[in-house]
Amino acid sequence: MKINEGRVAIVTGAGRGLGRAHALMLAGQGAKVVVNDLGGSADGIGSDQTPAEEVVAAIRRMGGEAVVDSHNVAEWAGAKAMVDQAVSSFGGLDILVNNAGILRDRMLVNMTESEWDSVINVHLKGTFAPTHHAANYWRQQQKAGKQVDARVINTTSHSGLFCNVGQANYAAAKAGIASFSIVAARELQRYGVTVNAIAPRATTRMTEGLREWTPEQLERRDPEWIAALVTWLASPEASGVSGKVFEAWGYGYAVAESWQHGPLTEASKDPATLGPAIEQIIRFSRKNAGIDRDTWLDV
């Protein structure tokens, strides 16, 4: 039995890379897929339906069902039209995978306003807008007395969680997505919706050329490792999992733990007295986590 048999999924940014892997694996596990992709370059310029059409064709060759959607996920009306297309094409919606994204890396002092705005818009609003419209569809279904067992799976990043230099725009957007996912999980549980996020490490056009990889490392960075987790999270088996952020790649899956309360000192209204106390709690606090960790083979 396929774990997503008969379920309907939207995957944004599904023409290439991770999104393509998600769409194909969801279809392989029985889902009907709306393949959304604007078809722009890695920095968000231009548009082309060809990548999405190729994914749809691949799904149909597998015997699955899929349709192309080329709306801009960061546009309010476009995000709603995408949800409406899932319902009109396949009779409903069960799964939303927010994956679309762009890169415009730059050191903070050199970053332009447009480079900041475009990345924040595509990633953060491009996650919020589809989720908003999908959530309203599920709320209406629940209020009509229909059983809802729906999923939202968002894409954060290790850069957002652990703060990569040169990506102030991207890291800020991705950190926002992680927090957004936890808030959305708490708000939408009443409607039968789970919300989780993944921080993937994979070789795609957005990460190619960052460094040299060995054949073993390249294999462990295959997008299918991440797609497998996404496909399971999308299934009925994962109904009890919500509000989590997962690190994912071929070396394993981990739960990324959120901000925790650290050492505490007494408050004071006299700033001249604060120095020793603040220095003490800093001394006993944990350092910020970095991008790499020993248990992930430092790659």
Catalytic residue annotation: 157, 170, 174
CA 201 to chain centre: 12
Do 104 and 139 contact (CB within 8 A), yes or no? Answer: no
Q: Which residues, 6 or more positions from 234, have their beta carbon under 8 angstroms from its beta carbon?
A: 4, 7, 9, 26, 31, 94, 95, 97, 151, 153
Q: Which residues, 6 or more positions from 164, have their beta carbon under 8 angstroms from its beta carbon?
A: 158, 170, 171, 291
- Neighbouring-strand partners of residue 11: 35, 97
Do 68 and 19 contact (CB within 8 A), yes or no? Answer: no
Nearest Cα to Cα of residue 195 among 97, 129, 99, 126: 97
Packing angle of the helix pair 113-120, 168-188 (nearest 10 deg): 30
Length of the chain as a residue count:
299
- Region of residue 147 (left: phi > 0; alpha: psi -120 to 50; beta: else): beta
Nearest Cα to Cα of residue 154 among 257, 252, 63, 233: 233
